Structure 1
């Protein structure tokens, strides 16, 4: 799966890591729904760190279509809520 972190670039993440990323996505969604800003910040950071750790960066010149777009680390809870709708960030 090709994942874009807004403002950073693209990473290729193996499908075998989706379960781990989905756990973080579910936590993030719950924190957004409850308005837990501190939990949101912590979990968004953990999700982005996991993608960076598990993924292989694609060259900047690569123009692969992203299957998933994650917000930048400084995105607000409101901005991410608007991105999500009710679906979460990671496809189930």
Structure 2
């Protein structure tokens, strides 16, 4: 799966990493709902770091469609709130089952 971090680029992630990413996403969503800015900042950084660490960056000139788009590291809680769906940033059905 291809994931874009806004302002940084794209990363290819193996589906096996999504349970951990969904845990962080659930934590982030709860912090946004509670307006916990300190927890939000910490968890957003952890989520993006996990994507960078577990994934393989694509070359800057790659033109792959992104299946997920995550906010930039400096995104505000309000910007992330606008991006959230009922499932958070990462829908619970990801990776899609075939």
The bucket for the TM-score relative to the shorter chain is over 0.9
Aligned to 2:38: 38
Is residue 67 of structure 1 aligned with residue 54 of structure 2?
Answer: no
| TM-score, scaled relative to structure 1 | 0.97
Q: Deviation at 1:76? A: 0.2
Report the Cα distance in structure 2 between the residues aligned to 1:42 and 1:87, rounded to whole angstroms: 20
Unaligned runs of 5+ in 1: none
Q: Deviation at 1:72? A: 0.3
Unaligned runs of 5+ in 2: 93-98
SS at match of 1:4: strand
Q: Deviation at 1:86? A: 2.4
Report the Cα distance in structure 2 between the residues aligned to 1:80 and 1:87, rounded to whole angstroms: 13
| TM-score, scaled relative to structure 2 | 0.92
Q: Deviation at 1:90? A: 1.0
Aligned to 1:82: 82
Aligned to 1:49: 49
SS at match of 2:69: strand
Report the Cα distance in structure 2 between the residues aligned to 1:30 and 1:10, rounded to whole angstroms: 26
